Amino acid sequence: MRRIVAGTRGSELAQIQTDLVIAELTRVYPDLEVEKRVIKTKGDKILDVPLAKIGDKGLFTKELENALFSGEIDFAVHSLKDLPVELPQGLKTTACIKREKPNDIVVLKHAKRLADLPDNAVIATGSLRRALQLKKIKPQIQIAEIRGNINTRLEKLANANWDGMVLAYCALSRLGKENLITELLPYEVMLPAVAQGIIAVESRDDSKSIELFSRINDKETESCGILERAFLFGLGGGCRVPMACNAYVEGSELHATGLYMPNDGEQYILETISGNMVDAYELGIQLAKQALSKVK
């Protein structure tokens, strides 16, 4: 029996996501034994500062990548949205498993819909992308900054004088907390983060790893992730670039909508693009160029 080691962050959600990858691996390779090893990252330790202010390069990944280089682990499992668009030389994203619904959701205390909230309602989020899109719908809305894992955030919501909170559908779904969702936000209201809902495998860039993980790779999900991350790369960014993107596949066609909100939302630039799945990266770069061409 062959044995490999998976690296994961320590949160409940990170471990559930790692378990999903392990389940895919053992389905394809019934004789494979996978050990799970928890590694704490910088992003897990600094919980009192908004992500956009910390400097996001490798915030949730660096320690896991060091463990890959040292051979302590054979692969790391990430939310693809946490991975920097450029990986260190010698490492590679070798698989993406089938994407969960990428929408954002709201958990509201009293209202049944986001639209029913008073104009000056207080909504918690640690995301500039979400905050700016909320302000587009309700300019007077108040934003409460929040960090921490999902359970911590939900606990804070219960004890704070807030009207609600924005979270990713995939997070609550994977944690088995879908019953807490008040409203699934359509893309016209809240375009999701780049690669939201995609779980990725990062491994050493060698033929053995590439072959092993290729068998659990979902091509459609991978193409969507490549396009969305290329859009982010084309805009030059990470957590501090206020943007959003969502791609989907129909047949062999890839379609995407990108949103860029330069100067903290002074402009709201929405662009679309379509093309062949095999051109995912080029489509993402082109979408970024279209958006940048509209900046005043």
Residues marked as catalytic? 82
Backbone torsions φ then ψ of 191, nearest 5 degrees: -80, 135
Q: Give CA separation, 144 vs 98, 154, 171, 228, in Å.
A: 33, 13, 20, 27
Place of tokens 């290729």: 214
3-state secondary structure of 180: helix
- Please list the residues that pair with 258 across neighbouring strands: 245, 271
Cα–Cα distance, 269 to 251 (Å, whole number):
28
Q: Which are the contacts of 214, defined by CB distance < 8 A and separation ≥ 6?
A: 94, 95
Provide the 10 A C-beta neighbour count for residue 129: 26
If we measure between CA atoms, which residue out of 208, 174, 154, 129 comes closest to residue 21? 174
Place of tokens 């919980």: 47
Cα–Cα distance, 291 to 296 (Å, whole number):
11
If we measure between CA atoms, which residue out of 12, 226, 272 comes closest to residue 99? 226
